């Protein structure tokens, strides 16, 4: 991509990020102004939703694609990696659209939903549903981890 094309895409995504931020604020959620992440070439909008912080990510390398992340919501000790993989498998099978992943260091988790931006057809209600899906997947994972821990306790 030429520098001009990248700058045009960056400006377009900033506008899109501002629109998403406005939708979330209008629905009563605390969404911060979009922040440029120069290392990742993304516009990020942090939002407080149902007691947790989510990040809505707009990527210059794929401007039609949006990610909503709940990073680092469950730390994983090395001895708990096996149960964590079982729990994330259960969450990924059960939860619609959102997925739970272990980070590259295998010491924390990320819940995410990824979708194609529908441009002017996108609606605030759809965005809020995606936010709820991420939180639901993280909660399902946490519940599965707790159930596993309880089942391993001596009777």
Query: Whole-angstrom Cα distance, residue 118 to residue 127?
Result: 11
Q: What is the pLDDT of residue 127?
A: 93
Give the global pTM.
Answer: 0.90
Taking residues 28-52, report their average pLDDT. Answer: 96
Other beta carbons within 10 angstroms of residue 93's beta carbon come to 8
**Domain residue extents for the chain:** 3-151
Across the range 46-74, mean pLDDT stands at 96
Run of H or E residues at 70: strand 65-71
Structure tokens at 36: 């440029």
Quickly count helices (H) and strands (E) in the chain: 3, 7
**Which CATH number is correct for 3-151, 3.30.1460.10, 3.40.50.620, 3.40.50.300, 3.30.1540.10?**
3.30.1460.10
pLDDT digits (tens, 9 = 90+) for 98-126: 999 999 999 999 999 999 998 777 888 89
């Amino acid at each position: 991509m030429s520098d001009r094309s990248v700058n045009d895409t960056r400006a377009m995504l900033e506008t899109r990020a501002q629109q998403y931020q406005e939708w979330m604020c209008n629905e009563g959620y605390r969404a911060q102004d979009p922040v440029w992440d120069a290392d990742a070439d993304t516009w990020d909008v942090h939002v407080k939703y149902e007691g947790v912080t989510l990040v809505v990510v707009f990527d210059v390398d794929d401007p039609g694609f949006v990610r909503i992340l709940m990073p680092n919501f469950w730390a994983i000790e090395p001895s708990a990696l096996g149960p964590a993989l079982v729990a994330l498998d259960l969450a990924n099978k059960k939860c619609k659209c959102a997925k739970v992943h272990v980070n590259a260091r295998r010491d924390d988790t990320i819940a995410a939903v990824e979708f194609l931006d529908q441009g002017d057809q996108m609606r605030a209600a759809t965005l809020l549903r995606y936010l709820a899906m991420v939180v639901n997947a993280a909660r399902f994972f946490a519940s599965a981890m707790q159930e596993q821990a309880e089942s391993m306790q001596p009777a």
